[in-house]
Amino acid sequence: MLQMTTYGEDADDGDAGRPPLLIVHGLFGSGRNWRAIARRMARLRRVTTVDMRNHGDSPRADSQSYADMADDLAETIGALGGQADVLGHSMGGKAAMVLALSRPQLVRRLLVADIAPVAYAHSQNHLIAAMRGLDLARIGSRSQADEALSASIDSPQLRAFLLQSLDLEARRWRLNLDVLERDMALITGFPEVEGRFDGPSLFLSGKDSDYVRAEHRPRIKALFPNARFAKIPGAGHWLHAERPRAFIAAAEAFFNA
């Protein structure tokens, strides 16, 4: 079972038929990355974040395939009551799509944040190499870790994101770097899937991001016939972190429609 954190357990959702909201993070992330957004959205409903397999405090496993990640999410939704609205970003968005396509009865509404059901050419193994390159026995503070990472990662925002998965006290990464590196082609790819999801879907992207392009729309519409598309101005791939208020407003408008 994935590590779960639930917010707003006492919230009055105003609609007995509205299921909980499940938030699914992306590669190298964890549920804690979504804590501020989950708390804000939990004013009106129950919101649950998860740590995906091989991330955070969830179990370590020997696979990072989307079929296995979708199985994990199905088990989580079963524990939440049997149906959920699902919001997934990047890798989490792909896992959420595979879940909705393979088990549509578990998903009421689906929001996919800045990712498409296609294979991408880029690899993130250079970031794994950077994390592995840190001599954790010599790192005494997060600022030292940040300085060490800066030799191979220019972006302060990206370094801060990765360092959220560093357990300084235990001197280890809260990531199964071996499996993530080995299965990187699966993560950046997208499996051959059958079926389609006819429920309401929103593909929400950052206007400055190129992850969801015009040529992806026919593929999206074939799998998600009721998909709608929207962009958040002034945001890139990390749209929820760069424009959190606009992201929450768009997500709540969609899920509460």
* Catalytic entry in 25, 55, 237, 240: 237
Distant-in-sequence, close-in-space partners of 222: CB < 8 Å, separation ≥ 6: 196
* Residue 48: DSSP 8-state: E
pLDDT class of 194 with cuts at 50, 70, 90? confident
- Nearest CA to 28 out of 117, 123, 128 is that of 128
Least confident of 6-10, 117-121, 206-210, 227-231: 6-10
Does the pLDDT value for residue 15 go beyond 70?
no
- Report percent pLDDT > 70 for the chain: 97
Q: Quick check: 18 and 81 in contact, CB under 8 A? A: no
Q: Is the pLDDT confidence value at 17 over 80? A: no
pLDDT digits (tens, 9 = 90+) for 145-159: 999 999 999 999 999
- The band of 44, judged by pLDDT with boundaries at 50, 70 and 90, is confident
Judged against a pLDDT cut of 60, whether residue 16 lies above it is answered with: no
Choose, from 58, 90, 165, 205, the residue flagged as catalytic. 90
Average pLDDT over residues 15-38: 91
Which residue of the set 167, 178, 198, 210 is catalytic?
178
**Cα–Cα distance between 253 and 247 in angstroms, integer?**
10
55 is catalytic: no
Active site residue 90: yes
Instruction: Please indicate, yes or no, whether the overall pTM of this predicted structure exceeds 0.75.
Output: yes
Handedness of CA 209, 213, 216, 217 (dihedral sign): positive
Q: At what angle do helices 156-163 and 142-149 cross, to 10 degrees?
A: 130
pLDDT band at 12 (very low <50, low <70, confident <90, very high): low
Average pLDDT, whole number, for the chain? 95
Q: In 21-40, which positions are buried (b, 16+ CB within 10 angstroms) versus exposed (e)? A: bbbbbbbbbbbbbbeebbeb
- How does strand 201-206 pair with strand 107-113? parallel
pLDDT (0 to 100) of residue 18 = 81
* Phi-psi group of 28: left, alpha or beta (phi > 0 → left; psi -120 to 50 → alpha; rest → beta): left
Place of tokens 């968005």: 93
pLDDT given at position 250? 98
**C-alpha span between 127 and 124 (Å, rounded):** 6
Query: Which CATH class name applies to 3-120+189-255?
Result: alpha beta
How confident is the model over 64-97, as pLDDT tens digits?
A: 999 999 999 999 999 999 999 999 999 999 999 9
Domain ranges (residues) in the chain: 3-120+189-255, 125-175
Confidence check: pLDDT of 30 > 70: yes
The token duo for 221 is: 């519409």
Nearest of 169, 123, 168 to residue 145 by alpha carbon: 168
Catalytic: 30? Answer: no
